[in-house]
Structure formats: structure tokens, C-alpha cells
């Protein structure tokens, strides 16, 4: 079955979850919670969030989601565009197939995005998260900025292609580990305590970067990396 939420609707989820086993389509709608009680100081975790189970289809266009534990937990097929996710523990937790475009994720206590499936991110803005984006799946990111986070991109495993990205004001700009296939092209980084944490990376590539901060690269048992046409000031 299909649930269509029309423009202008305000969905008060209270303390519940919205569980999708069919199709959810929402345009120009707000998902909120009017519940007061135990949550973080900025209202994260008041309700569970939107959950798309396997074989679900979710399309969110120009929506706002606030006060959730996880704004969108996806195991199916989802698309989010021109939207705002804020005051959550996790913005998006993807285990399925998801496309995110022209969307802001603000004030997420844990992760802005956690990808364990297949995900494309275009023109996103992530700020004030512990980790902006963590990946263990298949990830493509274009024209995206992350600011004011402990770690910008945490690439633990899987495959990640990052193009035209920026990171500002954080402890670590990009972190990569053994088993992660990472290709970064065109990166601007400012005010970084550590630009690259390459740990024991065995397949990391960076081309065209302009970065400033305290330290450019730190690694403990680096196996293989390539950094070309890059400038670091620190």
C-alpha cells in the first residue's frame, strides 16, 4: 500500500515510529514530536523516526524531520531531496539503496550519515555531528561539505568515491582504514587538527587538495596510499 503525505501536512509522531512496509511519499511536510521528556539538550530522540523495511519505497521531497532518534533508517529503496534533518541522534542510517541530494543534516549527536548499503550523496551539508559520515558500504559523494564535527569522513571499509568535498573546523578531516577502497578528488579542508588519519590504509588515493591545519597526515602502519597535486599549510 502507499501512504501519500500532501504538502503542508505536519506529522506529530509523538514517541512512535513510522514503519514503512510499502510505499511512503511525502512532499513539503514536517515530521515533528510534541512530546517532552527525556532527550538530549536539543530535543534528539523524542521519537523513533521513519523506518523503511526491506522492499519498501520511500520518497521524501522538501520535508523537515526533527527530534528523532534516527530521522531515516532505510533497508529498502529511498530518495531524499531538498530536505532538512535536524536535532537527531543519527540523520540517516542506510542499509539498502538511498540517494540524498540538496539536503542539510544539522545537530546529529552521533552520525550525520551512516552508510552500510549503497548510497549516493549530492550537494549535502552536514554540521555539528560527532562523525559527519561513516561508511562501510558502497558510497559516492559529490559537492558536499561537513563542518564542526569530530570526524568528517570516517571510511572504515567498503568503497568510497568523494569528489569536490570540503571539511571545516574538526579534529580529523578524513579517516581511512585497511580494507577501505577510497578515492578522493578535489578537497578543500580548513581549520583541521589532523587532515588525514590513514591508520593502516591499504588503498587510499587523494588528488587535488588545499588543506590547512595542525598536521597533514598521521598513520600507524600505512600499507599503500597516493597523494598528488595537494597543498597543506600548517
Strand partners, 121: 100, 141
The confidence score (pLDDT) of residue 12 equals 97
Report how far apart, in Å, the C-alpha atoms of 181 and of each of 134, 148, 158, 178, 203 are: 14, 25, 6, 8, 5
The confidence score (pLDDT) of residue 38 equals 64
The confidence score (pLDDT) of residue 39 equals 63
The confidence score (pLDDT) of residue 7 equals 97
**What's the start-to-end Cα distance of the chain, in Å?**
56
Alpha carbon distance 96, 167 (integer Å)? 26
pTM confidence score: 0.96
Q: Which residues of the chain have pLDDT under 50?
A: none
Read off the pLDDT of residues 22-52 as tens digits, 9 standing for 90 and up.
999 999 999 999 998 766 678 899 999 999 9
Amino acid at each position: 500500500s502507499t501512504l501519500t503525505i500532501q504538502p503542508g501536512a505536519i506529522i506529530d509522531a509523538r514517541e512512535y515510529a513510522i514503519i514503512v512496509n510499502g510505499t511512503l511519499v511525502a512532499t513539503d511536510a514536517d515530521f515533528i514530536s510534541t512530546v517532552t521528556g527525556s532527550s538530549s539538550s536539543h530535543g534528539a530522540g523524542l521519537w523513533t523516526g521513519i523506518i523503511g523495511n526491506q522492499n519498501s519505497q520511500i520518497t521524501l521531497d522538501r520535508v523537515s524531520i526533527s527530534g528523532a532518534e534516527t530521522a531515516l533508517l532505510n533497508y529498502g529503496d529511498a530518495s531524499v531531496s531538498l530536505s532538512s534533518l535536524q536535532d537527531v541522534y543519527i540523520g540517516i542510517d542506510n542499509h539498502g539503496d538511498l540517494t540524498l541530494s540538496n539536503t542539510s543534516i544539522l545537530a546529529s549527536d552521533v552520525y550525520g550519515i551512516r552508510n552500510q548499503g549503497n548510497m549516493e550523496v549530492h550537494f549535502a551539508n552536514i554540521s555539528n555531528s560527532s562523525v559527519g559520515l561513516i561508511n562501510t558500504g558502497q558510497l559516492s559523494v559529490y559537492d558536499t561539505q561537513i563542518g564542526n564535527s569530530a570526524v568528517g569522513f570516517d571510511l572504515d571499509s567498503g568503497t568510497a568515491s568523494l569528489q569536490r568535498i570540503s571539511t571545516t573546523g574538526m579534529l580529523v578531516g578524513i579517516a581511512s582504514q585497511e580494507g577501505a577502497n577510497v578515492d578522493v578528488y578535489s578537497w578543500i579542508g580548513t581549520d583541521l587538527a589532523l587532515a588525514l588519519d590513514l591508520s593502516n590504509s591499504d588503498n587510499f588515493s587523494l588528488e587535488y587538495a588545499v588543506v590547512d591545519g595542525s598536521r597533514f597526515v598521521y598513520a600507524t602502519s600505512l600499507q599503500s596510499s597516493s597523494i598528488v597535486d595537494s597543498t597543506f599549510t600548517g
